[in-house]
């Protein structure tokens, strides 16, 4: 019987220990040589944040397949492998995984990342400076505001741009006799905040809600992304140049006043924290603050409700004729652990090429981030896309650059969240500023 | 990493060895030879414990020791190479944040509120259901399956469903009926006063089926003749409950109180999925998650974990002491 | 029939009715979200929106039977959810068997053996039960990577084999099994391992069913860890991800309808529900079984 005991125990031991000892030291990646497969091809691994079955994922699939097919050389081909890693509901899984991979030396060659993370990823050594690897011509074709720069280096190129605007239901405006006031608005002759308020006031009672600002999206980045231009346009500030000081910036009188405005709009019934996220789509709300990604949504799923009787208006200008609009989308970057940098640079150029930009933006409804792709797209003036593009070039402002972006966004969203239940905006802003400053100071110690 | 891991496991083995020696010495010195160790028995015991101990050490103990050790460092997820020892700095920051009524304060208060309300609510609901299902009436087995159903469905799924049910505007299930009845939609999950109570209620709803089963097994163990005797003595139903049922399930009740308490202290998923980060629903475990994963300050996050462990451990110890049976 | 008896019977009848009524109301309270989930999974987005606010929201889509299973068809065909489901089943099978053997053995020793160092080990078990484990995923990732098993299924299975809570449950259970069983077997000359396998495990069928059920549920519902250590699906290859990954993928896609999400929730919930229904008889006896002590 002793023997049986031994057999069982050694079985279990072998299972755990054996697994422990085998394969030690042959972890994926980390070698000095680029990963080469048995036929001598260089493998370039890409990790993306979307699901393979999503429209964007299918576009990546197509582009990378085309890349692999384009490799006709007999030997030394480049083979691209894509790892689709959709973000979970809580949204931090993808970022945490990047951190873990960095620590273990298992980063893929190319990753996607959200533009505001450029500073922290560059600083942490996840992203490599590609300014020497990407051709001058390609670099110059991208809009200056869209490039992922940090301390003079180029750490990534955007997949697309994501300008946002205020969607409006033309039928509701027509019935209220307001269509003439907004119909021909462009980024140059944008409305002012006062006009925006006036129109909201006139729309009250003529629809379920004058405007949905997606205030309920303050659980994730969406709220920061959509609302920060409102604050900037009214003279508000967020952080110092180096991204390390919030006191005196986030709690500046202009910032507080701009947040107060949002709260006033809620009080006046112009917008609501409890709006339905399909209220505009189903024709119940007059206006909807959203990104370009709502365009395919409306055209594909809500054509019945809205038809073509809708448009996009620019962000309203602030008092001193200041203007700002949202920018910053997900980008492709090369990691510092990439060994075959020349081959990866080729792949990177392919991923953000004019054709790829057109192909991806066709799927996502966003606008390309490079001039040549815009030329191909040839938007007609007056179309929703044209307004987004025009606005991006004329009033686009990035979110504040800081290596502590998650903390900043959290503070921003915290203010939006807390304003839901308290009208004492200056006290909310001051609490969040103190807390954010404490979080920023951690980086200095 | 490998060196430190071996050192930690070595220290653990040394400690274990120390306790083994201590136990043997104490047993030898004891006047009564009540505890008697044999070499053979000891070797067999440890051989049989080996698989569990080995896996526990590598996959549970080691990560926990690391994580608690990080509490005294400035470990930043994206700069592991720069990790250095900072003493009690993280704890000082935590107390500072608490005293300025920041997130640590909110999280502590919300967790406290959750624990204080959910423990009696969930245990009360569980006991009530167990008493109902335990009635000698046909069909109770089917009801039991219904009451237990939320337990087997994952927290992610039930949270998703309740968000749809309690959602704001007129797209929430409950609100869609309120609107039909001519009332204004209520923002259940974002009401700073009410939101935590909804989370408490939903957690109890989700979890009480499990404790119901535990109580049920306790109830089945009670000698039925005790009830008959009480009946003969003319004891009322309430009196019977206090005199027969409660003492009968005492040890089960202790187990339930302690496990529900520990589970309640660690609440995270419900507020995370149902309201996101809100000052009125953030909990300590959730804050720990945000600090560690969103902000990437693993050291600070581990310091919160260490504080939680100490507090939960102390309270559990007191509970065990208070609830211990007299014998 | 005399009057007194009639009254007594009537009383009993009414009290039963009250009990059934109460029990039914409670049952509705506990399962209506799940019923609503199933019902909604049969509807298109328009039907769902139109039915909200009326009783029809709790009725399946009988009006247009051609779209009744539409969401299921799209979920099952578009996302290969069945492949992920099979993976989860395989992981669950390995974990359930290993989990029971390893933890039962440990629980048995802790309950029935006296050996030096036992106090220390029970202290460690209690300690591990209390620590919040959410942050340990970071060091755990490093450990798994250093062991060289990251990227393999072992990274998912091995850490799941041991559970402090299950050791604790087994220990509670075995404590209450009379010593006589063991002594009798020992007189027959059986080894400790034989006693464990032939005497103790069969005696502990209820607790085994309990642990098996919860180990299964744990593996089935796990998401973050497997997707962190396993390679993501490659076109043309069998994926390694578990079913919850497919669920998250579906939910993360823009433009997925409420009905599709509900259908995917139903599909992922069915297996755990079946396991529970089969095991539930034993679970009741298993958990408490004669008193738990801390």
Encode pLDDT of A344-358 as tens digits: 999 999 999 999 999
What the block records as the tokens of A103 is 């620590």
If one compares C37 and A95, the residue with the highest pLDDT of the two is C37
Q: Does A303 touch chain C (CB under 8 A)?
A: no
Phi, psi at B170, each rounded to 5°: -100, 15
Nearest to B250 by CA among C288, C285, C166: C288
* C138, C193, C248: residue with CB nearest A1: C193
Q: What's residue B33's pLDDT?
A: 63
Q: Which residues in chain C are closer than 8 Å to B124, comparing Cβ atoms?
A: none
Contact: B279, A445; criterion CB under 8 Å:
no
Q: What's residue A21's pLDDT?
A: 36
Which residues, including other chains, have CB under 8 Å from residue B305's CB and lie 6 or more apart?
Answer: B67, B68, B71, B288, C131, C132, C134, C135
Q: For residues C18-47, give the mean pLDDT.
A: 91
Contact: C252, A54; criterion CB under 8 Å:
yes
Q: Does B50 touch chain A (CB under 8 A)?
A: yes
Contact: C53, B48; criterion CB under 8 Å:
no
If one compares A21 and B43, the residue with the highest pLDDT of the two is B43
- Report angle CA A106, A107, A108 to the nearest 5 degrees: 115
Pick the most confident of A209-223, B181-195, B215-229, C89-103: C89-103
* C133, C135, C273: residue with CB nearest B298: C135
Q: ipTM of the assembly? A: 0.82
Q: Which residues in chain C are closer than 8 Å to A1, comparing Cβ atoms?
A: 190-191, 193-194
Q: What's residue C211's pLDDT?
A: 86
Query: Can you tell me whether residue C83 is helix, strand or coil?
Result: helix
> Which chains border C (3 or more CB–CB pairs < 8 Å)?
A, B
The pLDDT > 90 percentage for chain C reads 21
Q: Does C46 touch chain B (CB under 8 A)?
A: no
Q: What's residue C209's pLDDT?
A: 85
Measure the CA–CA gap between A171 and A283, rounded to whole angstroms.
9
Q: For residues B217-229, give the mean pLDDT.
A: 84
Q: For residues A238-259, give the mean pLDDT.
A: 95
Query: How confident is residue A13, by pLDDT bands cut at 50, 70 and 90?
Result: very low
Q: Read off the pLDDT of residues C214-262 as tens digits, 9 standing for 90 and up.
A: 889 888 888 778 877 887 777 677 888 888 878 877 777 766 788 888 9
Number of H helices, E strands in chain C: 15, 0
Least confidently predicted of A138-142, B253-257, C164-168, C224-228: C224-228
Query: How confident is residue A28, by pLDDT bands cut at 50, 70 and 90?
Result: very low
Measure the CA–CA gap between C268 and C271, rounded to whole angstroms.
7
Contact: B217, C286; criterion CB under 8 Å:
yes
CB pairs under 8 A between B and C: 279
Give the chain A residue nearest B296 (alpha carbons): A96
Q: What's residue C244's pLDDT?
A: 83
What the block records as the tokens of B8 is 């930690």
Mean pLDDT of chain C: 83
Q: For residues A87-92, give the mean pLDDT.
A: 57
**Positions of E strands within C141-233:** none
Give the chain B residue nearest C144 (alpha carbons): B59
* B187, B277, B279: residue with CB nearest A274: B187
Query: How confident is residue A19, by pLDDT bands cut at 50, 70 and 90?
Result: very low
Q: Which residues in chain B are closer than 8 Å to A420, comparing Cβ atoms?
A: 190
DSSP label at A141?
H
Check: CB of residue A42 under 8 Å from CB of residue A34. yes
The pLDDT > 90 percentage for chain B reads 31
Has residue A98 got a pLDDT over 70?
A: yes
Measure the CA–CA gap between A356 and A349, rounded to whole angstroms.
9
What the block records as the tokens of A417 is 């969240």
Has residue A208 got a pLDDT over 50?
A: yes
* B54, B103, B273: residue with CB nearest A435: B103
Has residue C5 got a pLDDT over 90?
A: no
Q: Does A74 touch chain C (CB under 8 A)?
A: no
Number of H helices, E strands in chain A: 19, 13
Helix, strand, coil percent values for chain B (each to nearest 5):
75, 0, 25
Contact: C150, A106; criterion CB under 8 Å:
yes
Q: What's residue C254's pLDDT?
A: 67
Nearest to A99 by CA among C248, C133, B90, B76: B76
* B42, B61, B140: residue with CB nearest C116: B42
Query: How confident is residue C291, by pLDDT bands cut at 50, 70 and 90?
Result: very low
**Nearest chain A Cα distance for residue B127, angstroms:** 34
Q: For residues A14-26, give the mean pLDDT.
A: 38
Which of A62, A88, A299 would you mutate first to test chain C, the one with the most C CBs within 10 A? A88
Contact: A16, B55; criterion CB under 8 Å:
yes
Contact: C284, B216; criterion CB under 8 Å:
yes
Q: Does A247 touch chain B (CB under 8 A)?
A: no
Residues 363-422 of A with CB under 8 A from B: 404, 406-407, 410, 413-414, 417-418, 420-421
Phi, psi at A33, each rounded to 5°: -95, 145
The 10 Å CB-count burial string (b at 16+, else e) for B1-33 is eeeebeebbeebeeebeebbeebbeeeeeeeee
Least confidently predicted of A133-147, A348-362, B264-278: B264-278
Query: How confident is residue B118, by pLDDT bands cut at 50, 70 and 90?
Result: very high
Give the chain B residue nearest A99 (alpha carbons): B78
Pick the most confident of B27-41, C46-60, C63-77, C155-169: C155-169
Rg (CA), chain C: 25
Has residue A6 got a pLDDT over 70?
A: no
Look at phi and psi of residue A235 and say left if phi exceeds 0, alpha if psi is from -120 to 50, else beta.
Answer: left
Q: What's residue C222's pLDDT?
A: 82
Q: Does B96 touch chain A (CB under 8 A)?
A: yes
Q: Which residues in chain C are closer than 8 Å to A278, comparing Cβ atoms?
A: 49
Contact: A445, B103; criterion CB under 8 Å:
no
Q: What's residue A89's pLDDT?
A: 52
Q: What's residue C294's pLDDT?
A: 44
Q: Read off the pLDDT of residues A374-422 as tens digits, 9 standing for 90 and up.
A: 999 999 988 999 999 999 999 999 999 999 999 999 999 999 999 988 8
Query: How confident is residue A172, by pLDDT bands cut at 50, 70 and 90?
Result: very high
Q: For residues A116-120, give the mean pLDDT.
A: 92
Residues 105-144 of A with CB under 8 A from C: 106
Q: For residues A273-290, give the mean pLDDT.
A: 89
Least confidently predicted of A51-65, C102-116, C170-184: C170-184
**Nearest chain A Cα distance for residue B230, angstroms:** 51
Query: How confident is residue B200, by pLDDT bands cut at 50, 70 and 90?
Result: very high
Q: Does C36 touch chain B (CB under 8 A)?
A: yes
If one compares C179 and A284, the residue with the highest pLDDT of the two is A284
If one compares C177 and A377, the residue with the highest pLDDT of the two is A377
Helices marked H in C176-222 — which ranges?
Answer: 179-187, 192-194, 201-203, 205-221
Q: Read off the pLDDT of residues B89-102 as tens digits, 9 standing for 90 and up.
A: 999 999 998 988 88
Contact: B294, A92; criterion CB under 8 Å:
yes
Q: Which residues in chain B are closer than 8 Å to A121, comparing Cβ atoms?
A: 78
Q: Which residues in chain B are closer than 8 Å to C280, comparing Cβ atoms?
A: 144-145, 148
Q: For residues B45-61, give the mean pLDDT.
A: 91
Give the chain C residue nearest B142 (alpha carbons): C27
Least confidently predicted of A34-43, A345-354, C5-14, C165-174: A34-43
Q: Which residues in chain B are closer than 8 Å to C275, comparing Cβ atoms?
A: 152
> Which chains border A (3 or more CB–CB pairs < 8 Å)?
B, C
What the block records as the tokens of A197 is 């308020």
Has residue A18 got a pLDDT over 50?
A: no
Mean pLDDT of chain A: 86
The pLDDT > 90 percentage for chain A reads 60
Measure the CA–CA gap between B76 and C45, rounded to whole angstroms.
44
Q: Which residues in chain A are closer than 8 Å to C102, comparing Cβ atoms?
A: 12
**Nearest chain C Cα distance for residue B119, angstroms:** 16
**Nearest chain C Cα distance for residue B145, angstroms:** 7
Q: Read off the pLDDT of residues A295-320 as tens digits, 9 standing for 90 and up.
A: 988 988 888 888 899 999 999 998 76
**Nearest chain A Cα distance for residue C224, angstroms:** 7
Has residue C91 got a pLDDT over 90?
A: yes
> Which chains border B (3 or more CB–CB pairs < 8 Å)?
A, C
User: C80-289 maps to which CATH number?
Assistant: 1.10.3720.10
Has residue A372 got a pLDDT over 70?
A: yes
The pLDDT > 70 percentage for chain A reads 90
Q: For residues C270-291, give the mean pLDDT.
A: 71
Q: What's residue C188's pLDDT?
A: 82
* A1, A20, A293: residue with CB nearest C147: A20
Q: What's residue A33's pLDDT?
A: 54
Query: How confident is residue A135, by pLDDT bands cut at 50, 70 and 90?
Result: very high
Mean pLDDT of chain B: 87
Q: For residues C53-78, give the mean pLDDT.
A: 84
Has residue A367 got a pLDDT over 70?
A: yes
Check: CB of residue A348 under 8 Å from CB of residue A313. no
Domains of chain A: 2-158+330-365 (3.40.190.10), 165-326+403-442 (3.40.190.10)
C-alpha of A263 from chain center: 25
Has residue A94 got a pLDDT over 80?
A: no
Contact: B59, C159; criterion CB under 8 Å:
yes
Give the chain C residue nearest B311 (alpha carbons): C130
Outline which parts of chain C fall under CATH 1.10.3720.10. Answer: 80-289
Task: Measure Cα distances from B216 to A64, B81, B130, C208, C291 in Å.
Answer: 58, 53, 5, 18, 11
Give the chain A residue nearest B50 (alpha carbons): A9
Q: Does B185 touch chain A (CB under 8 A)?
A: yes
* B51, B78, B156: residue with CB nearest A9: B51
Q: What's residue A14's pLDDT?
A: 45
Q: What's residue A32's pLDDT?
A: 45
- Report angle CA A48, A44, A87 to the nearest 5 degrees: 15
**Nearest chain C Cα distance for residue A44, angstroms:** 14
Contact: C26, B220; criterion CB under 8 Å:
no
Q: Does A17 touch chain C (CB under 8 A)?
A: no
Contact: B19, C136; criterion CB under 8 Å:
no
Q: Read off the pLDDT of residues B143-185 as tens digits, 9 standing for 90 and up.
A: 988 998 898 888 888 888 998 899 876 678 888 888 888 887 7
Check: CB of residue A333 under 8 Å from CB of residue A313. no
Q: For residues A88-109, give the mean pLDDT.
A: 75
Helix, strand, coil percent values for chain C (each to nearest 5):
75, 0, 25
């Amino acid at each position: 019987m002793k023997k049986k005991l031994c057999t069982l125990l050694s079985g279990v031991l072998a299972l755990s220990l054996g697994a422990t000892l085998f394969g030690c030291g042959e972890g994926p990646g980390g070698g000095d040589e680029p990963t080469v497969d048995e036929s001598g091809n260089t493998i370039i691994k890409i990790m993306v944040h979307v699901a393979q079955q999503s429209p964007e994922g299918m576009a990546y699939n197509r582009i990378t397949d085309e890349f692999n097919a384009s490799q006709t050389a007999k030997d030394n081909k480049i083979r691209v492998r894509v790892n689709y890693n959709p973000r979970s509901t809580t949204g931090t899984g993808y970022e945490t995984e990047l951190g873990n991979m960095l620590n273990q030396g298992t980063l893929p060659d190319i990753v996607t990342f959200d533009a505001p993370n450029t500073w922290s990823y560059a600083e942490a050594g996840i992203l490599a400076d590609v300014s020497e690897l990407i051709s001058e011509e390609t670099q110059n074709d991208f809009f200056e505001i869209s490039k992922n720069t940090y301390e003079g280096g180029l750490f990534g190129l955007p997949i697309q741009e994501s300008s946002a605007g205020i969607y409006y239901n033309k039928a509701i405006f027509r019935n209220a006799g307001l269509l003439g006031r907004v119909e021909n608005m462009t980024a140059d002759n944008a409305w002012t905040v006062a006009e925006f308020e006036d129109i909201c006031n006139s729309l009250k009672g003529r629809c379920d809600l004058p405007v949905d600002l997606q205030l309920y999206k303050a659980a994730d980045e969406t709220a920061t992304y959509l609302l920060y231009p409102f604050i900037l346009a009214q003279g508000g500030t967020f952080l110092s140049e180096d991204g390390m000081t919030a006191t005196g910036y986030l709690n500046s009188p202009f910032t507080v006043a701009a947040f107060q405005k949002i709260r006033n709009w809620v009080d006046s019934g112009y917008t609501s924290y409890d709006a339905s996220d399909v209220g505009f789509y189903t024709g119940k709300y007059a206006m909807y603050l959203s990104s370009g990604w709502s365009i395919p949504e409306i055209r594909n799923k809500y054509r019945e409700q809205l038809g073509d009787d809708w448009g996009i208006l620019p962000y309203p200008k602030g008092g001193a004729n200041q203007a700002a609009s949202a920018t910053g989308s997900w980008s492709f970057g090369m990691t510092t652990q990439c060994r075959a940098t020349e081959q990866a640079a080729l792949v990177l150029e392919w991923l953000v090429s004019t054709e790829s930009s057109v192909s991806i933006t066709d799927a996502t409804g966003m606008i390309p981030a490079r001039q040549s792709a815009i030329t191909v797209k040839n938007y007609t003036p007056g179309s929703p896309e044209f307004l987004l593009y025009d606005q991006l070039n004329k009033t686009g402002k990035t979110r504040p650059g800081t290596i502590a972006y998650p903390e900043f966004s959290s503070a921003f969203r915290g203010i939006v969240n807390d304003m839901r239940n308290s009208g004492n905006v200056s006290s909310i802003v001051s609490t969040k500023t103190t807390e954010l400053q404490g979080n920023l100071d951690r980086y200095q110690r | 990493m490998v060196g430190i891991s071996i050192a930690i496991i070595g220290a653990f083995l040394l400690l274990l060895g120390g306790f083994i020696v201590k136990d043997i010495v104490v047993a030898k010195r004891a006047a009564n030879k009540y505890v008697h160790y044999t070499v053979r028995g000891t070797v067999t015991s440890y051989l049989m414990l080996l698989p569990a101990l080995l896996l526990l050490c590598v996959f549970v103990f080691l990560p926990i020791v690391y994580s608690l050790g990080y509490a005294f460092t400035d470990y930043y997820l994206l700069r592991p190479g720069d990790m250095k020892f900072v003493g009690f700095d993280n704890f000082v920051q935590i107390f500072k944040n608490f005293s300025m009524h920041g997130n640590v304060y909110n999280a502590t208060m919300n967790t406290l509120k959750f624990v204080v309300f959910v423990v009696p609510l969930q245990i009360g609901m569980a006991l009530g259901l167990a008493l109902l299902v335990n009635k000698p009436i046909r069909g109770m087995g089917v009801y039991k399956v219904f009451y237990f159903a939320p337990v087997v469905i994952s927290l992610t799924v039930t949270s998703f469903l309740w968000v749809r049910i309690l959602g704001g505007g007129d797209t929430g299930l409950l609100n869609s009926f309120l609107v039909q009845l001519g009332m204004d939609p209520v923002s259940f999950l974002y009401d700073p006063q009410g939101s935590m109570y909804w989370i408490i209620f939903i957690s109890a709803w989700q979890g009480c089926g499990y404790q119901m089963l535990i109580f049920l097994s306790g109830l089945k163990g009670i000698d039925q003749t005790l009830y008959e005797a009480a009946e003969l003595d003319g004891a009322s139903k309430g009196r019977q409950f206090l005199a027969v049922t409660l003492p009968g399930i005492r040890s089960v009740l202790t187990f339930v109180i302690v496990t529900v308490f520990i589970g309640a202290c660690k609440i995270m998923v419900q507020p995370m999925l149902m309201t996101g980060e809100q000052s009125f629903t953030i909990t300590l475990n959730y804050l720990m998650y945000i600090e560690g994963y969103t902000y990437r300050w693993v050291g600070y996050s581990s310091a919160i974990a260490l504080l939680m462990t100490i507090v939960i451990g102390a309270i559990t110890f007191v509970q065990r002491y208070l609830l211990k049976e007299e014998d | 029939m005399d009057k007194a008896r009639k009254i007594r019977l009537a009383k009993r009848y009414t009290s039963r009715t009250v009990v059934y009524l109460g029990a039914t109301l409670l049952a509705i309270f506990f399962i209506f979200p799940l019923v609503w989930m199933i019902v909604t999974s049969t509807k298109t987005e328009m039907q769902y929106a139109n039915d909200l606010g009326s009783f029809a929201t709790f009725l399946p889509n009988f009006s247009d039977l051609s779209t009744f299973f539409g969401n299921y068809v799209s979920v099952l065909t578009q996302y290969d959810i069945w492949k992920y489901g099979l993976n989860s089943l395989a992981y669950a099978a390995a974990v359930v068997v290993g989990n029971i053997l390893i933890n039962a053995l440990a629980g048995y020793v802790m309950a029935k053996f006296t050996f030096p160092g036992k106090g220390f080990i029970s202290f460690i078990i209690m300690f591990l039960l209390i620590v919040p484990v959410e942050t340990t995923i970071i060091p755990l990732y490093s450990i798994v990577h250093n062991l060289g098993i990251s990227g393999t299924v072992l990274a998912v299975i091995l850490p799941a084999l041991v559970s402090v809570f299950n050791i604790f449950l087994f220990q509670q259970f075995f404590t209450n099994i009379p010593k006589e069983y063991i002594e009798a077997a020992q007189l027959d000359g059986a080894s400790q391992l034989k006693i464990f396998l032939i005497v103790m495990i069969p005696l502990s069928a209820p607790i085994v069913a309990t642990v098996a059920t919860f180990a299964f549920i744990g593996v089935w519902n796990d998401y973050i860890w497997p997707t962190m250590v396993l390679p993501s699906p490659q076109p043309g290859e069998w994926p390694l991800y578990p079913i919850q990954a497919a669920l998250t993928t579906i939910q993360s896609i823009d433009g997925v309808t409420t009905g599709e999400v509900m259908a995917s929730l139903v599909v992922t919930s069915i297996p755990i529900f079946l396991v529970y229904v089969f095991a539930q008889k034993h679970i009741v006896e298993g958990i408490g079984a004669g008193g738990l002590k801390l």
